[in-house]
Structure 1
Amino acid sequence: MAAYIESGDPEHLAEAYETARLALEANVPLPDFGLLHFAGLRNSPLPAGASGASLERAEDFFLEGVAVYDMALRGYVSGMASLRKEIAERRRVEQELRDITFELARQRDELDREVRTRTTEIRLRAEELEGKNRQLVQANQEQSNFTYALSHDLKTPINTLYCFLEVLLEDYQADLKPGARELISDLIGTAARMRQLVDDVLDYSKIVGHQFTPERVDLQMLVRQVLKDMDSLAAGSQAEIRVGALPVVMGSPFQIRVLLTNLLSNALTYGSSGQKAQVRVECAPAGTAGKVRLSVSDNGPGIPEDMQERIFELFKRLHRYDQCPGSGIGLALCKRVAETHGTELRVISESGKGAAFSVDLNLEEKQDG
């Protein structure tokens, strides 16, 4: 300080900065630093004849040191403000996290309650459905057993009645009046219809109670067998029957035979009047992987749109028996076969433009190698 007062050299002024920096590092308070400065000024008296410039240099030397404290103080104040701001922000974030954690916990608890409630409802509903399913299975089995027993018990007396009426007509027709012969002929026809009805009801009861494990069913061979059994019906209708390439499917051979028998019988029976019956049996992709659509179509009179649901009901007929024979069970059987194979029986038809019945079946799975 004395050197700077005497010379005014800026290099000596830099000593004030360095001294203050060292004092600050040594944690010397600003008042103590001021006391040290003035003590040094007393120990280094101003030279004789010192001018105002010397006093200004002494003051500058002190202010240079004070400036270091001032900068440190400003930095501390700024740092404290920044620190306070950071602390406030951290507290805000922590509060938000606490709020979010609380809300998540609340939502989790609410979701847990909803899941428990829904699980209980689903369990109760499943138990209810399981109970109803057991009742339905039992009812179906009882219905099947009852229908089978009833039909079986009816078949014997009907056959006996039919045979007696035929014998009566054959052996005693010379003794009978024309009206009596006509009456007995009508009774024979009625007995024949009753016998056919009983057979159809028996078939239906077999389908209702028939549980099966899917087997290979060669549709080409099966259609050939069914048509062979219908030679007389096909010859009587002078039908033109076209059978396309048919694959091997998986299902119940018995039920699919029933399906084809009824669909082909209908196609041949309900042929278009005045022209040769045309029947087609073919397969096409079903639009679902692993399935094929089997269809039987004809050029018959068709089915009005408002009757296309009714034809699948038991004992529902579109024509009188004297117009077209049948029990009204065949298409109900076909519908049941489709349902037991996990699909549905569809019909596409317009009045006067024939009808096409179709059902989707699972293709045989090819084994690799």
Structure 2
Amino acid sequence: KIVLSTLWLLFLLVSIRDREISDHIKTKKALSKNINILKSIIDASKQLTSTRNPEVLYRKTLVFARDLFQLDFSTVMLLTEDRKHLVIKDTLGFPESMINTFRIVIGQGLSTYVLEKGSADQVIDFKEESRFEVPPVVFERGITSAIAAPMMIEEETIGVLIGHTKKKRIFSKEELELFQALANHAALAIKNAQSMKELKKERAQLKALFDALPDLIFRLDREGTFLSYKPSHETPLYVRPEDFIGKRITSVLPEEVSQPTLKALENAFEMGSMIAFNYSLPFPDRKRYFEARIVPVTDEEAVALVRDMTDWIESQNRLKQYQTDLERMVEEKTSQLKERIHEVELLNRAMMNILEDLQEANRKLSLTSQRLKESNEELGAFVYSVSHDLRAPLRAMQGFSEALLEDHSEQLDPQGLEYARRIRDAAKRMDNLILDLLSYSRITRSEIRLQPVKVGEIIKEAIEHLSGAIKEKGAVVKVQEGLPTVWATHGIALQIFTNLIDNAIKFTRPDTTPEVSIFSEDVSEERVRICVKDNGIGIPSEHRRRIFRIFERLHGIETYPGTGVGLAIVKKGAEKLEGSVGVESTPGKGSTFFVEFRKYKPEGAGDASKKANPVSGR
């Protein structure tokens, strides 16, 4: 037993030694493999860093990843600008049609998992994966394992480098770290390549912009030394490039030009903004004029843009000479015209005898017209004075009758009460008539100044004045939206539409609810109609002119109260506003009264200015 135990112990010791030797050999092989991969990554980093084309860079990264880590598929995916998707930029193993078209939403697949995790990770078997949703394309391609690492530049992540294998594969910790290192080197190279591409694009755009400028462009230092220049096919150089590059302005340009230029350069640096000035230089063919603009680009350098203004200045001088010649020609033609005018004046004197009779006739006609105008004015003043003086006794009659009815009604018999009421009502009607006469006279005699008036606001004000009558009658008044602005005066326009709406409400059958519609109709580009339509009793055709005369009534005062002056005021007001009034009616169905105005057009204010002068009564 002792011998057997000793032999068994020796066997165990030998087995343990052999296993340690085997593990050491495997570790040495793995270490050697990782060292080789690391060397390859360092070499790959050098190659990636020297690559400036992003598309070539994607492909090199994929080849390095596939070859170094023995992958069947390798893919570079970059984040979109909104950082919500990963987009395939290049791939080995997957169809090329997926490039720039296949997107993975954040939260799906191993690639977005390592993106959120911030470090490399792997999938040993996708069939057993439960940490995230596996894209269907993985199973379609027969993929079993994968390794992925976020492509990071310090704290910024720009995408993911991912590789796949069809056979089951377990990547060591060292391989994950090396794969992460390759992804980071690739990220830095890609970022540099993208920046260089943008910089190259910006430089090309800047060069195209400078090439398109017709100016000479000089680069100067703070001391006024020419560092470089861009030629111009439109602006010539004062001296050859080899005679001014590397030299100061004072040694190249005349003092009368160099000193103002140095001052402008100094001001540009001090103010940090563009300084412009003009100067001239002698050239072999002629004296040339230039415009210069100096702009600081750094604390030590500035750019001067110089444009040849000679042709423009000479054209201005030619224009001035042309204007001088033109003025001389105008003077000559004016002198000739004066001679012709003198001849015409002689002819006019010969015709004076013929025109004397016509002038006398015109004088008599003008005198007659003046007398007629004065008569009309006197008549209007008389009406106004009489109407005004009549109101005092009427107010007394109305006041005493009201006092009788309120304070002494018990002392009066029924007949006396009736007489008192009649006196009161008659005085009130007479007062309304006098007020209408005063309005009519005021319109006739007043001078007005036409101005833009918004019809919608006038209609609204008229309806407010008549709100009591509208409520009493239960009338429905509809007003079109967007009524135009016309040339009128506020007061006359308000009187016109107050009378028209009042009549539309008043002249309806007792059993009918008054319905009034107010709308506009274009007559032409210059004129517009404002219409007041009702459902009243209508007007027979033979009376349609008569109703616009003063004191004309078609019905008894008991049936439809009124003074007979309202429509006369409407007609006179419309004429005063250089408009017109009319009516269309069907007896028993209603009437449409319309007033024509001149449209107000803001862009035509110059044409209408003469219409804004005072207009006297007609």
- TM-score calculated relative to the size of structure 1: 0.65
5 Å-filtered alignment, 1:275-290, equals 275-287=512-524, 289-290=525-526
Q: Are residues 1:188 and 2:395 paired?
A: no
Change (3 A) 1:128 1:259: farther
Which of 437, 453, 466 is equivalent to 1:217?
453
Report the Cα distance in structure 2 between the residues aligned to 1:208 and 1:362, rounded to whole angstroms.
20
Per the alignment, in what secondary structure is the counterpart of residue 431 of structure 2?
Answer: helix
The corresponding residue for 2:578 is: 342
The corresponding residue for 1:291 is: 527
Q: Are residues 1:155 and 2:391 paired?
A: yes
Change (3 A) 1:117 1:304: farther
Report the Cα distance in structure 2 between the residues aligned to 1:229 and 1:139, rounded to whole angstroms.
35
Which of 475, 486, 496 is equivalent to 1:259?
496
Report the Cα distance in structure 1 between the residues aligned to 2:356 and 2:518, rounded to whole angstroms.
51
The corresponding residue for 2:381 is: 145
Aligned-pair CA distance for 1:269: 0.7
Which of 390, 407, 411 is equivalent to 1:171?
407
Whether contact under 8 Å (1:296, 1:358) holds in the other structure is: yes
Report the Cα distance in structure 2 between the residues aligned to 1:336 and 1:124, rounded to whole angstroms.
34
Aligned-pair CA distance for 1:343: 2.8
Deviations 1:215-248 (A, max 9, x none): 1211111110110010111111111111113111
Whether contact under 8 Å (1:212, 1:252) holds in the other structure is: yes
Report the Cα distance in structure 2 between the residues aligned to 1:118 and 1:224, rounded to whole angstroms.
60
5 Å-filtered alignment, 1:201-280, equals 201-244=437-480, 245-280=482-517
Report the Cα distance in structure 2 between the residues aligned to 1:291 and 1:368, rounded to whole angstroms.
13
Calculate the aligned-residue CA RMSD, in Å.
2.1
Amino acid of the residue matched to residue 437 of structure 2?
V
Aligned-pair CA distance for 1:296: 1.1
Aligned-pair CA distance for 1:286: 1.5
Amino acid of the residue matched to residue 249 of structure 1?
V
Report the Cα distance in structure 2 between the residues aligned to 1:161 and 1:211, rounded to whole angstroms.
34
Unmatched 5+ stretches in structure 1? 1-111
**Stretches (4+) displaced over 6 A:** 115-118
Deviations 1:70-114 (A, max 9, x none): xxxxxxxxxxxxxxxxxxxxxxxxxxxxxxxxxxxxxxxxxx9xx
Per the alignment, in what secondary structure is the counterpart of residue 221 of structure 1?
Answer: helix
Amino acid of the residue matched to residue 251 of structure 1?
A
Whether contact under 8 Å (1:237, 1:271) holds in the other structure is: no
Aligned-pair CA distance for 1:131: 2.5
Amino acid of the residue matched to residue 457 of structure 2?
M
Unmatched 5+ stretches in structure 2? 1-347, 606-618
Per the alignment, in what secondary structure is the counterpart of residue 435 of structure 2?
Answer: helix
Q: Which range is displaced more, 345-354 or 315-324?
A: 345-354
Aligned-pair CA distance for 1:129: 3.9
Aligned-pair CA distance for 1:308: 0.9
Aligned-pair CA distance for 1:126: 3.9
5 Å-filtered alignment, 1:90-129, equals 123-124=359-360, 126-129=362-365
- TM-score calculated relative to the size of structure 2: 0.40
The corresponding residue for 2:69 is: none
Change (3 A) 1:167 1:122: same
Per the alignment, in what secondary structure is the counterpart of residue 337 of structure 1?
Answer: helix
Change (3 A) 1:368 1:174: closer
The corresponding residue for 2:568 is: 332
- The alignment-based identity, stated in percent, is 29
Report the Cα distance in structure 2 between the residues aligned to 1:283 and 1:321, rounded to whole angstroms.
32
Whether contact under 8 Å (1:283, 1:292) holds in the other structure is: yes
Aligned-pair CA distance for 1:365: 2.3
Per the alignment, in what secondary structure is the counterpart of residue 447 of structure 2?
Answer: coil
Whether contact under 8 Å (1:140, 1:208) holds in the other structure is: no
Aligned-pair CA distance for 1:124: 4.9
Whether contact under 8 Å (1:303, 1:350) holds in the other structure is: yes
Deviations 1:303-335 (A, max 9, x none): 011111111111110110000111101111111
Which of 586, 589, 593 is equivalent to 1:357?
593
The corresponding residue for 1:82 is: none
Whether contact under 8 Å (2:397, 2:423) holds in the other structure is: no
Deviations 1:185-228 (A, max 9, x none): 11111111011011111111101101111112111111101100
Deviations 1:50-88 (A, max 9, x none): xxxxxxxxxxxxxxxxxxxxxxxxxxxxxxxxxxxxxxx
The corresponding residue for 2:366 is: 130
User: Number of aligned pairs?
Assistant: 255
Change (3 A) 1:141 1:180: same
Report the Cα distance in structure 2 between the residues aligned to 1:263 and 1:128, rounded to whole angstroms.
42
The corresponding residue for 1:311 is: 547
Report the Cα distance in structure 1 between the residues aligned to 2:361 and 2:596, rounded to whole angstroms.
31
Report the Cα distance in structure 2 between the residues aligned to 1:142 and 1:228, rounded to whole angstroms.
36
Change (3 A) 1:122 1:264: farther
Considering fraction of residues, name the structure with more helix: 1
Whether contact under 8 Å (1:294, 1:359) holds in the other structure is: yes
Deviations 1:18-50 (A, max 9, x none): xxxxxxxxxxxxxxxxxxxxxxxxxxxxxxxxx
Q: Tell me: higher relative CO, structure 1 or 2? Use CA pairs within 8 A at least 6 residues apart.
A: 1
Amino acid of the residue matched to residue 485 of structure 2?
V
Change (3 A) 1:161 1:341: same
Q: Are residues 1:322 and 2:558 paired?
A: yes
Aligned-pair CA distance for 1:139: 1.8
Per the alignment, in what secondary structure is the counterpart of residue 345 of structure 1?
Answer: strand
Amino acid of the residue matched to residue 361 of structure 1?
F
